[in-house]
A and B are shown apart, each in its own frame.
Chain A
């Protein structure tokens, strides 16, 4: 009576990992499109390329890049989990445990990457 819409289906680990996989997959696709375009600039004009790539070196882009790497890392590890669900005969029984492993690996990789990335940014990308 107060609500007019139906409720959201309460799926569990499997459903949310799929939602995450699709969102990160589509997200990576669009970023890659942009990235292929800006990288191809180097053939048009190296100066324009430097200017565009220079725009990556600010805090907002740093956050964005961390987000992007986070999406790729999740998509890659979860992609391996899906492959195991597909081809390992016991995969369907252990899909939840494998998802926890994916999340664990994701946290470890992201701590490492974020630390290095922020450090390099603060150092002014010496050597890059």
Chain B
């Protein structure tokens, strides 16, 4: 079902950027996009679809998916919202690794080979690139991702020193995209595992000096399906689009569980 797009041929190559100087033509290049598709209304089997597209130097994988959906095949299904790496909707597997489609520039990929896009692993696929995120958010809710403070509310803010704030700064950056959890070999085979994202978000409160429920969260994560499932494969750290040191956060939570029980 490959439908080549017919667009005005653009001669300039993507490397020779000089020609674009002086307000001339914007250089373009050809890509082959392969998407892993699944539609249970038609078939129980997933299949690969392929398109040849003409793209530009500023285009991302998300733009290629848009081009297909808007111009060629409207049934192609994927999630996206902000398109700027903020909302966490479009985590998918691009050339075998979890990435946000809106943060991967096509020119940074090897365009001499097909660009392969698949849904993230370990969560049930609903259609094409859309997976059921409910098990992911279920784990997130269980670690109580909100501030718990038992002292009387002050009249102004609850102050915190810069050092105390720094302690959990890294894990405040999470956008809940699930790139980490769905890159984890343990999660693929054991969907009950809380997964890196839930632990990252627990870390964000456990190490917050204003929070009083750290012990409760550590208890939740001391579960059989909690932090001890982590085998330190670092797939999560490599996948995180926010550059969070996910494995480091998990290890800190493991050590906090240990020192609490001692």
Proximity bits, B242-257, A CB within 8 Å = 1, else 0:
0001011001001100
Q: A7-B116, A85-B232, A92-B237 are in contact. Are A2 and B48 (CB under 8 A)?
A: yes
Report the nearest A residue to B251, measured CB to CB. A92
Q: A1-B1, A86-B251, A93-B248 are in contact. Are A11 and B49 (CB under 8 A)?
A: no
Please give the distance in Å from B187's CB to the nearest CB on chain A.
Answer: 11
Taking the complex as formed, is A122 at the interface, i.e. its CB lies under 8 A from any CB of chain B?
no
Asked whether, in the complex, the Cβ of B254 is within 8 Å of the Cβ of A86, the reply is yes
CA distance A2 to B231 in the complex (A): 35
Taking the complex as formed, is A13 at the interface, i.e. its CB lies under 8 A from any CB of chain B?
yes
Asked whether, in the complex, the Cβ of B183 is within 8 Å of the Cβ of A95, the reply is no
Q: Which of A3, A82, A87 contacts B255 (CB 8 A)?
A: A87
Asked whether, in the complex, the Cβ of A13 is within 8 Å of the Cβ of B47, the reply is no
Which positions 46-98 of chain B face chain A at CB distance < 8 Å?
A: 46-50, 93, 95-97
Asked whether, in the complex, the Cβ of B50 is within 8 Å of the Cβ of A1, the reply is yes
Chain B residue contacts of A15, Cβ below 8 A: 185, 233-235
Taking the complex as formed, is B134 at the interface, i.e. its CB lies under 8 A from any CB of chain A?
no
Which positions 1-34 of chain A face chain B at CB distance < 8 Å?
A: 1-4, 6-15, 18
CA distance A109 to B6 in the complex (A): 61
Please give the distance in Å from B113's CB to the nearest CB on chain A.
Answer: 12
Chain A residue contacts of B245, Cβ below 8 A: 92-93
CA distance A2 to B50 in the complex (A): 10
Interface residues on B, range: 20 to 34
Report the nearest A residue to B248, measured CB to CB. A92
Asked whether, in the complex, the Cβ of A82 is within 8 Å of the Cβ of B96, the reply is no
CA distance A8 to B118 in the complex (A): 11
Asked whether, in the complex, the Cβ of B50 is within 8 Å of the Cβ of A10, the reply is no
Please give the distance in Å from B175's CB to the nearest CB on chain A.
Answer: 21
Taking the complex as formed, is A91 at the interface, i.e. its CB lies under 8 A from any CB of chain B?
yes
Which one of B47, B48, B245 has the highest number of Cβ atoms from chain A below 10 Å of its Cβ?
A: B48
Report the nearest B residue to A91, measured CB to CB. B251
Q: A87-B255, A92-B251 are in contact. Are A10 and B97 (CB under 8 A)?
A: yes
Asked whether, in the complex, the Cβ of A1 is within 8 Å of the Cβ of B248, the reply is no
Please give the distance in Å from A113's CB to the nearest CB on chain B.
Answer: 28
Chain A residues within 8 Å of B, Cβ to Cβ = 1-4, 6-15, 18, 82, 85-87, 91-93, 95
